[in-house]
Amino acid sequence: MSSLTDTSVTQLPCPTLAQLEAEGAPEEKALFRQLDAVAETRDIHLPLLDELLHLPKGRVVQYLHAKARACTEKVYGDRIFLRALIEISSYCKNDCFYCGIRRSNTTLARYRMEEGTILDCCAEGYAHGMRTFVLQSGEDAWWTDERLCRIVDTLHRRHPDCAITLSLGERSRESYRRLFEAGASRYLLRHETADAAHYARLHPAEMSYEHRMQCLQDLKEIGYQVGCGFMVGSPGQSPQTLWQDLQFIRRFQPHMVGIGPFVATQQTPFAGEPNGSVEDCLRLLSLIRLLHPHVLLPATTALGTLHPFGRELGVLAGANVLMPNVSPVENREKYHIYDNKICLDDGVDHCIDCLERRLQSVGRRMVVDRGDFQV
């Protein structure tokens, strides 16, 4: 169990912009001004990104986080939005090199949730104040449009005050359109990397960068609020590929961006690779906030997996969304995307209490709200 105990993250230094300004040495102040320009122009040059990723922790990084935090507060105040995550199927036809539920992982017991159980999980999320349901799964053809539309339609009628988000991977434009018409209004599909060569390093040849981008484009055109995103520290990633990710976010203007550290996972080709850096992930969260101030930015479970206060640190870096898992506890370990995932044995009650306290420790509160993109 990963409950918050008496150690609090607020013991970490979290100075204000004014304090940093007063204490900064001249060379630090020069970087403060460059960060001001990033916020002003909503753009960043590759050399500055490279420098920020190599800088030791210190006042400049604190300034970056403080600035991103201020930006989040300006748009969303102290409000944190919750998304109820339901992992509806662990079958996947893909074989992504990083992912624990890839089809070649034959050591994993697979499951598909019953329609009634999915609806029950959503109802439980609703009872705990959640007003967005995220139905997530591997790419599983068993979930035909017909089956999915029936669930989406039922959910939509039972909970008309809630948003329905889908995270089901790549599907046809026609399928996306039908699901949208059934009542789904948001779709999460991480782009994984905006560099085609890096994409090929992370995926088998039958998967294509172009198709991924086409799906994202289709989703946007159909009218979904779209979330893209990527892992931080995946094999082959560089400041250059990350810069391309940031440029893609600037161009695409997603409503949400999900990022978390890469977690090396058993039974995948990347099992022996090093984990991504929590510190880099926090810096990127802040930069994404500054480049795209209104974006919905989750402090992800992967962040909480690699650091005991990862999600709090994510919030302090500018995140404003949390995605508690409301799937049946007996399925959780089978949805093994990466190793050491947290909250595997924790029911909704427990996680909500835990998150409430964690948020309080960083001056935020969870709200009962759909948490739409604020225009």
What is the DSSP pairing of strand 132-137 with strand 365-367? unpaired
Minimum distance of ligand FES from residue 356's CB (angstroms) = 9
Closest C-alpha among 145, 281, 296 to residue 228 = 296
Closest C-alpha among 263, 207, 259 to residue 235 = 263
* Closer residue to ligand 5AD, CB minimum distance, 48 or 192: 192
Minimum distance of ligand FES from residue 82's CB (angstroms) = 11
Tell me which of ligand FES, ligand 5AD, none is bound by residue 350, counting a contact when its beta carbon lies within the kind-specific cut-off of 5 to 8 angstroms: ligand FES
CB atoms closer than 10 angstroms to residue 142? 9
Q: Does 82 bind ligand 5AD (CB under 6 A)?
A: no
Residue 318: left (phi > 0), alpha (psi -120 to 50), or beta?
left
Residues 6+ apart with CB under 8 A from 27: none
Residue 59: left (phi > 0), alpha (psi -120 to 50), or beta?
alpha
The span from the CA of 147 to the CA of 186, in Å, is 18
* Closer residue to ligand 5AD, CB minimum distance, 216 or 362: 216
* Closer residue to ligand FES, CB minimum distance, 118 or 351: 351
* Closer residue to ligand 5AD, CB minimum distance, 98 or 176: 98
Contact 196, 209 (CB under 8 A): yes
* Closer residue to ligand 5AD, CB minimum distance, 260 or 310: 260
317's tokens: 């870096």
The span from the CA of 14 to the CA of 340, in Å, is 28
Q: Does 237 bind ligand 5AD (CB under 6 A)?
A: no
* Closer residue to ligand FES, CB minimum distance, 25 or 127: 127
Minimum distance of ligand FES from residue 237's CB (angstroms) = 27
* Closer residue to ligand FES, CB minimum distance, 254 or 304: 304
The span from the CA of 29 to the CA of 24, in Å, is 6
Q: Pick one of 83, 131, 159, 190: the residue that binds ligand 5AD (CB under 6 A).
A: 190
Tell me which of ligand FES, ligand 5AD, none is bound by residue 332, counting a contact when its beta carbon lies within the kind-specific cut-off of 5 to 8 angstroms: none
* Closer residue to ligand 5AD, CB minimum distance, 125 or 260: 260
Residues numbered 259-318 forming contacts with ligand 5AD, rule: CB under 6 A: 260, 262-263, 265, 302
- The letter for the amino acid at 93 is K
The span from the CA of 52 to the CA of 287, in Å, is 10
The span from the CA of 4 to the CA of 159, in Å, is 32
* Closer residue to ligand FES, CB minimum distance, 83 or 102: 83
Q: Pick one of 31, 99, 287, 316: the residue that binds ligand 5AD (CB under 6 A).
A: 99
Q: Pick one of 98, 126, 199, 224: the residue that binds ligand 5AD (CB under 6 A).
A: 98
Tell me which of ligand FES, ligand 5AD, none is bound by residue 346, counting a contact when its beta carbon lies within the kind-specific cut-off of 5 to 8 angstroms: ligand FES
CA 241-255-137 angle, to 5 degrees, is: 80
Alpha helices in the chain (DSSP H): 17-23, 26-41, 46-54, 59-76, 115-127, 145-158, 173-182, 196-202, 209-222, 239-252, 278-291, 301-306, 310-316, 329-332, 348-360
Minimum distance of ligand FES from residue 189's CB (angstroms) = 25
Minimum distance of ligand FES from residue 299's CB (angstroms) = 11
Residues numbered 197-236 forming contacts with ligand 5AD, rule: CB under 6 A: 231
Tell me which of ligand 5AD, ligand FES, none is bound by residue 99, counting a contact when its beta carbon lies within the kind-specific cut-off of 5 to 8 angstroms: ligand 5AD
CB atoms closer than 10 angstroms to residue 93? 13
The count of residues interacting with ligand 5AD (CB under 6 A) is 12
User: Which residues would be at the binding site for ligand FES (CB under 6 A)?
Assistant: 2-3, 343, 346, 350-351, 354-355
Q: Does 338 bind ligand 5AD (CB under 6 A)?
A: yes
Give the residues lining the site for ligand 5AD (CB under 6 A): 98-99, 190, 192, 231, 260, 262-263, 265, 302, 337-338
